[in-house]
Amino acid sequence: MIGPLSGEILGRPGLEAGERRAEAIQCILAGTTIAEVRTALGLDAADERAVADHVRKASPWMAVVTLDPGDPDDWGDCPGISPHPGPPLPGRTELFWCGEVPGLGRVVEHTCLCIMTEYELLSYGGTYRIRRTTIPRAGVPTVSFTGGWRRPEAYEWWFRLLTGQAR
Ligand SMILES: [Zn+2]
């Protein structure tokens, strides 16, 4: 995506901020990371903020996978590879979390380890559950599970969880 686009853009040095940002938003919504877009389009800090704000509103899930986690210092020892679950949104779906361990599953997706609460999507031979691991807290089991879905439904809930639409 960024290949042919970058050549075209770099060949038009007089590109206005508005056009540059519109191009960047298009690329990011198609899955290009902000780091690649930044280089290709020569975004400055103000561009980046405007683009990130727009992408977070337009597609919270794409924002999770394409935008930088911001200042690395904010994230402590963040390896910066796995997604960070977004803040829970008003009106989110409350998932039913159960402390009972459903046996051994295979981890197919997981959130970043730098966050206190880790979520993992597990496969149990065609059935999927999400495992939540938290630091010890009164009244909340450290490890709990939700789900029991088929694959497409499981990924939908996984995305909702990551985007704060379910928790
Ligand atoms: Zn992290």
Q: Which of the listed residues 23, 38, 68 is the one where a domain comes to its end? A: 68
Residue 60 has pLDDT above 90, yes or no: no
Please say if the pLDDT value at position 11 is more than 80.
no
pLDDT at 67: 78
Residue 125 CA to ligand 1 centre (angstroms)? 29
Q: Are 55 and 25 a contacting pair, CB within 8 Å? A: yes
Number of domains in the chain: 2
pTM to 2 decimals?
0.56
At 47, is the secondary structure helix, strand, or coil? helix
CA of 82 to the centre of ligand 1 (A): 7
Residues 92 and 60 in one domain: no
Where among 47, 68, 89 does a domain terminate?
Answer: 68
pLDDT digits over 31-55, tens only? 888 888 888 888 888 898 899 889 8
Looking at the chain, the whole-number percentage of residues with pLDDT higher than 90 is 47
Domain that holds residue 106: 77-167
Residue 122's pLDDT is: 97
- Separation CA 71–CA 166 (nearest Å): 26
Q: How far is the CA of 77 from the centre of ligand 1 (A)?
A: 7
Q: Are residues 25 and 43 in the same domain?
A: yes
Q: How far is the CA of 98 from the centre of ligand 1 (A)?
A: 25
Residue with tokens 């975004």: 43
Among 33, 68, 103, the domain boundary falls at 68
Residues 17 and 93 in one domain: no
**pLDDT (mean) for 6-20:** 64
CA 126 to chain centre: 24
